[in-house]
Amino acid sequence: MKRVLGNAVILEGEELEPVRGYVVVEDGRIAEVGTGNPGRSYVDLKRGVVCPSFTNAHTHVGDASARDVGAYRSISERVGRGGVKFKVLRSEERVRRGIRSALEEMLASGTLAFADFREGGVRGVELLRSTAGGSPVEAVVLGRPDGDDPAEVLERCHGFGISSPADYAEEELLKLRRLAGRRGKLFAVHCAEVKDDTADVLGLNPDFVVHLTNAGEESIDEVLRRRIPVVLCPRANGSFAVGLPRVKELLEGTLVALGTDNAMANSLNMLREMEFAFKLARGLSRDYRLDAREILKAATLNARKMLKLESNAIVEGNPASFLIFRNNNYIYDPVLGIVHRFEVSDIKGIVKGDVLLGGNGIV
Contact track, Zn ion, 110-149, x by CB under 5 A: ----------------------------------------
Q: What's the min distance (Å) between Cβ of 244 and Zn ion?
A: 16
Amino acid in the structure at residue 161: G
Q: What's the min distance (Å) between Cβ of 258 and Zn ion?
A: 13
Q: Which is nearer to Zn ion, 261 or 294 (CB)?
A: 261
Q: Which is nearer to Zn ion, 162 or 356 (CB)?
A: 162
Amino acid in the structure at residue 357: L
Q: What's the min distance (Å) between Cβ of 315 and Zn ion?
A: 32
Q: Which is nearer to Zn ion, 12 or 105 (CB)?
A: 105
Q: Which is nearer to Zn ion, 7 or 111 (CB)?
A: 111
Q: Which is nearer to Zn ion, 60 or 246 (CB)?
A: 60
**Residues 255 to 314 in contact with Zn ion, rule: CB under 5 A:** 261
Contact assessment for residue 115 and residue 259, using Cβ atoms and an 8 Å cutoff = yes
Backbone angles phi, psi at 177, to 5 degrees: -60, -45
Q: Which is nearer to Zn ion, 144 or 304 (CB)?
A: 144
Q: What's the min distance (Å) between Cβ of 349 and Zn ion?
A: 31
Contact track, Zn ion, 67-86, x by CB under 5 A: --------------------
Residues with Cβ within 8 Å of residue 327, at least 6 apart in sequence: 9, 46, 47, 48, 49, 334, 337
Question: Nearest residue by C-beta to Zn ion?
Answer: 261
Q: What's the min distance (Å) between Cβ of 40 and Zn ion?
A: 47
DSSP 65: G
Beta strands in the chain (DSSP E): 2-12, 17-26, 29-35, 43-52, 54-60, 111-117, 138-143, 159-162, 186-191, 208-211, 230-232, 256-258, 261-262, 321-325, 347-352, 355-357
Q: Which is nearer to Zn ion, 52 or 159 (CB)?
A: 159
Q: What's the min distance (Å) between Cβ of 58 and Zn ion?
A: 6
- Long-range contacts at 238-242 (CB < 8 A, ≥ 24 apart): 238/276, 239/71, 239/265, 239/266, 240/75, 240/78, 240/193, 240/265, 241/74, 241/75, 242/75, 242/193, 242/194, 242/213, 242/214
Binding span for Zn ion by CB under 5 A among 8-16, 119-127, 253-261, 276-284: 253-261
Q: Which is nearer to Zn ion, 109 or 262 (CB)?
A: 262
Contact assessment for residue 237 and residue 200, using Cβ atoms and an 8 Å cutoff = no
How many C-beta atoms lie closer than 10 Å to residue 136's C-beta?
16
Q: What's the min distance (Å) between Cβ of 344 and Zn ion?
A: 23
Q: What's the min distance (Å) between Cβ of 68 and Zn ion?
A: 17
> What is the distance between the alpha carbons of residues 340 and 357, in angstroms, rounded to a whole number?
24
Contact assessment for residue 172 and residue 191, using Cβ atoms and an 8 Å cutoff = no
Q: Which is nearer to Zn ion, 69 or 313 (CB)?
A: 69
Contact assessment for residue 303 and residue 255, using Cβ atoms and an 8 Å cutoff = no
> What is the distance between the alpha carbons of residues 333 and 324, in angstroms, rounded to a whole number?
15
Contact track, Zn ion, 169-198, x by CB under 5 A: ------------------------------
Binding-site size for Zn ion (CB under 5 A) equals 1
Q: What's the min distance (Å) between Cβ of 261 and Zn ion?
A: 5
Query: What is the binding site for Zn ion (CB under 5 A)?
Result: 261
